[in-house]
Amino acid sequence: MAAAAPPPPPTPTPSPAFTLPETTPIGNPMFVRIRLATKSDVPHIHKLIHQLALFERLPHHCSATESSISATLFNSPPFHSFTVFLLEVSPHPFPPTPHPTHPFYPPTINLDLPVSDPEKEVFRSDDNNDDVVVAGFVLFFPNYSTFLSKPGFYIEDLFVRECYRRKGFGKMLLSSVAAQAVKMGYGRVEWVVLDWNVNAIRFCEEMGAQVLQEWRICRLTGLGILVVHLPTARETLFYVLYRRKLASIFIFMVKGSASGRRIPVAPRNMRQYSTSRHKKIHLLLRRRPTQC
Amino acid sequence: MAAAAPPPPPTPTPSPAFTLPETTPIGNPMFVRIRLATKSDVPHIHKLIHQLALFERLPHHCSATESSISATLFNSPPFHSFTVFLLEVSPHPFPPTPHPTHPFYPPTINLDLPVSDPEKEVFRSDDNNDDVVVAGFVLFFPNYSTFLSKPGFYIEDLFVRECYRRKGFGKMLLSSVAAQAVKMGYGRVEWVVLDWNVNAIRFCEEMGAQVLQEWRICRLTGLGILVVHLPTARETLFYVLYRRKLASIFIFMVKGSASGRRIPVAPRNMRQYSTSRHKKIHLLLRRRPTQC
């Protein structure tokens, strides 16, 4: 008896996941690139900084201009001084061009709906590909831990434009800085958050970062710096009056003078102030005797 | 009648303050110099860092060695990267030698009693003058404000040895950094204090600094940095096992596999780990299909 023919093997249901390469997912794919910014990106960085100031409701504190950014950034090798990573997105894969330096390619994300970007034209990247748009940035620079005797990175700003938020881009930007820190053997990545910004603190905790509750930042700024480094009260007062153009001739009478001699004295650090202005200044003061 | 001779004019009591030049006050003068540290000062800086760790009761967090300090400091021009100012004191005036770079000479102070320094020999400066002793240091580096689009200085550590405290040396060190910031046209000087350190907060306020109560520092360190920049959980777990030498052959079974194929996969960022070790590693895993 001839053996019954075996039943045909079941046709395996093809899995759609493996019929397409990973780089072209179904839906509304968004390809992501994080790359080192250069001087030619300053107009984008300037606009992003102003959007950040608006987001933090501090536009009156923001005095950044394109020329001031150009003058202070990109003057040193990246990672050893102030460094900017730009986040770029595109509906099409990025060509493997050698143009962008230090590029990171986070995983492509898939959206239910394409992003409607009202500022697409303004934030169009300089890349040859017309669809590439700048969506965010991170500015960071090296800091140092004496206890570890190792450098780290401090993130000054991390910002994603409104229409690209809640898609994991913040984490991608932070990860790119962390990856660079690991590559350079650095010990820490730090940043600051506002204590009432619940989302920022949640993000911080999700990243596995420790929130240092006990530390407070002290900041000397503007006149504060000048006042500190001027060693005496008379010089501080002199400087304030000088800046306000009230002190072309300023007689400062210090109580407790023993001799009453009038000695023309230029305050310490006078030179650095007078270099910027050429007004001749006389300071007549009664010098307090040295206390023994 | 002859007029009575007028009484002799009273002999003015000579003021000792004006019989001596300002540089040699009476008492126990202490001459002060703040100068830029160099690589030859590393042994002193190392000892100061460990004293700071003891003062903060964190000696177990301090892993700084002379060689790690040497490797990470003084590799870039001062003020543009990590910079150290040393505070030196001497009972005699500092000779006007061109040897120390960027010296500041704060006012000489006068003490009721000379300072008894039990570690005078250990902290003797390399200066030709045998009486010069290193009394403290400040380590700072440039930071950046995007809103001002200006650099500033961040003070990582400011430390004065115990026997030299409460003499104004902390203010002198801070002032020297502020003076440098003014000289370079920088916008801010910042540092952090512990919220329970009443003395540090008082010092901060006396300096005219603003204490930013609302900001909290977030810190990613050690494994945290690696975990953030590794994009997926499977790679994180793989990396942890790899570091612990548990993963020479590691089969990671991810639930939800559709195909059941075993694909040898090197995790992303594998290259940078494998450069340091040459052990051959196989990772066999069932890949989760791309979610559409």
CA dihedral B154, B157, B158, B162 (to 10 degrees): 170
Q: Which member of B15, B217, B220 has the closest CB to residue A192?
A: B217
A84 bridge partner residues: A139
Among chain A residues, the shortest Cα distance to B106 is held by: A231
pLDDT at A1 over 50: no
CA distance A288 to chain B (A): 9
If you average pLDDT over residues B6-26, what whole number do you get?
46
Q: How many angstroms separate the CA atoms of B69 and A150, rounded?
A: 8
The answer to whether the CB atoms of A228 and B215 lie below 8 A apart is no
| A194·B217 Cβ contact <8 A | no
Closest CA to B45 of B90, B12, B88, B84: B84
pLDDT at B231 over 70: no
- Could you give the CA distance from residue B36 to residue B147 in angstroms, rounded to a whole number? 30
3-class secondary structure, A59: helix
Cα–Cα distance between A131 and A31 in angstroms, integer? Answer: 11
pLDDT > 50? residue B19? no
**Treating both helix axes as pointing N-terminal to C-terminal, what angle do A169-183 and A198-206 enclose, rounded to 10 degrees?**
50
Measure B1 CA to nearest chain A CA, in Å.
39
Tokens of B112: 């009721």
Angle (CA) A246-A248-A254 rounded to 5° is 80
Q: Could you read off the pLDDT of A5-33 as tens digits, one per residue?
A: 445 554 444 444 333 444 455 678 899 99
Nearest to A49 among B146, B209, B215 (CB): B146
Contact A225 B76 (CB under 8 A): no
The mean-pLDDT minimum among A131-145, A206-220, B232-246 falls in B232-246
Mean pLDDT over the full length of chain A: 74
Write out the two tokens for A71. Answer: 């003058």
| Residue contact A228–B269, C-beta within 8 A | no
In three-state secondary structure terms, A7 is: coil
Residue A3 has pLDDT above 70, yes or no: no
Question: So what's the pLDDT on residue B105?
Answer: 74
d(CA B138, CA B36): 10
User: B237-264, pLDDT tens digit by residue?
Assistant: 655 555 555 544 443 433 333 333 333 3
Distance CA B291, CA A235 (A): 69
3-state secondary structure of A241: helix
Both structure tokens of B284: 């066999």
Asked if residues A224 and B205 have their Cβ atoms less than 8 Å apart, the reply is no
What's residue B194's pLDDT?
87
Q: What average pLDDT does chain B have?
A: 74
Residues of B in contact with A188 (CB under 8 A): 219-221, 225
For A192, phi then psi, to 5°, come to -125, 150
Residue A177 C-alpha, separation from nearest chain B C-alpha, in angstroms:
8
Task: Identify from B219, B257, B263, B292 which residue to disrupt to test chain A contact, counting A C-beta atoms within 10 A and taking the largest count.
Answer: B219
- 3-class secondary structure, A236: helix
Cβ burial of A60 (10 Å; 0-12, 13-18, 19+) is: exposed
Q: Closest Cα of chain A to B250: distance in Å? A: 23
Q: How far apart, in whole angstroms, are the C-alpha atoms of residue B64 and residue A31?
A: 43
Preferred mutation among A225, A254, A270, A288 to probe B, highest tally of B CBs within 10 A: A225
- Residue A67's region, left for phi above 0, alpha for psi from -120 to 50, else beta, is alpha
Single out the residue of B13, B224, B7, B186 nearest to residue B83, CA to CA. Answer: B186
Closest CA–CA distance from residue B101 to any residue of chain A (Å):
17
pLDDT digits (tens, 9 = 90+) for A237-290: 655 555 555 444 443 333 333 333 333 333 443 333 333 333 323 332 223 333
pLDDT reading at B9 higher than 60: no
Q: Phi and psi at residue A160, in whole multiples of 5°?
A: -125, 135
Rounded to the nearest 10 degrees, what angle do helices B169-183 and B198-206 cross at? 50
Pick from B39, B86, B218 the residue to mutate for testing the A interface (most A CBs within 10 Å). B218
Give the residue with greater pLDDT, A86 vs B260.
Answer: A86
Q: Of the candidates A26, A72, A219, which has its C-beta nearest B149's C-beta?
A: A72
Q: Report the residue from B65, B107, B289 with minimal CB separation from A18.
A: B289
Residues of A in contact with B189 (CB under 8 A): 219-221, 225, 228
- CB-nearest to A216 from B213, B229, B231 is B213
pLDDT of B92: 87
| Residue B225 pLDDT | 75
Query: What's the CA gap between B89 and B110, in Å, rounded?
Result: 12
pLDDT at B87 over 80: yes
Is residue B65's pLDDT more than 90? yes
Q: Residue ranges per domain, chain A? A: 28-206, 223-287
The one-letter amino acid at A1: M
- State the pTM of this model: 0.72
Confidence (pLDDT) at A67: 96
> What is the arrangement of strands in the sheet containing A83-90, beginning at the earlier edge strand?
A109-111, A28-36, A83-90, A133-145, A150-160, A188-194, B215-221, A210-212
Q: Look at B146 and A156 and tell me if their CB atoms are within 8 Å.
A: yes
**Interatomic CA distance for residues B248 and A292, integer angstroms:** 74
ipTM for the whole complex: 0.71
Contact B77, B124 (CB under 8 A): no
Name residues whose C-beta falls within 8 Å of residue A4's C-beta, 6 or more positions apart in sequence.
none
Q: Which CATH superfamily is domain A28-206 in?
A: Gcn5-related N-acetyltransferase (GNAT) (3.40.630.30)
pLDDT confidence tier of residue A49, bands split at 50, 70 and 90: very high
Sheet containing strand B188-194, strands side by side: B109-111, B28-36, B83-90, B133-145, B150-160, B188-194, A215-221, B210-212
Sign of CA dihedral A239, A244, A247, A248: positive
Tokens 């690209």 appear where?
A164
Distance CA B160, CA B34 (A): 12
Residue A234's pLDDT band (boundaries 50, 70, 90)?
Answer: low
Residue B14 reports pLDDT greater than 70:
no
Question: pLDDT tens digits, residue range B105-140?
Answer: 777 787 878 888 999 999 998 766 678 999 999 999
Query: Can you point out the beta strands (E) in B149-281?
Result: 150-160, 188-194, 210-212, 215-221, 249-252, 262-264
